[in-house]
Structure 1
Amino acid sequence: MKKIRETLWRVRLWRDLRGQDLVEYALLAGFVAVVAGVTIPNVSASMSTIYSLLASKLIQAGG
């Protein structure tokens, strides 16, 4: 009888979907954080170059 109860409990636990959304959102947030951490340094270097070029062009046009 104990074996049957344990098996039923495991089946119920396996089918229980509560908390699944939270885990999925946590995994998604972690993935976004990793992607942002990888891309932001590259993008910021490119943006710095673009802003420097734009500033020099504006100085040349004004002077």
Structure 2
Amino acid sequence: MTRPVTVDFERTGTANDPRGALRVDFTGRATTNRKDWTVNGADGLVGERVTRYFDVAAIRRP
């Protein structure tokens, strides 16, 4: 099953990496309800709402 998910990102840094390429870092998170995807296993171990955290680095090619 495919559904759109909105991930809110925040830029956390900008710098040149050791090779001189521009690097921009972001963190983000998205909270979803497992039951929206009919994932019903692990009841009691995992709540209905699940938050995923992302750390992303975008590096410009020289």
TM-score, scaled to structure 2: 0.18
TM-score, scaled to structure 1: 0.18
Choose 1 or 2 for highest CA Rg.
1
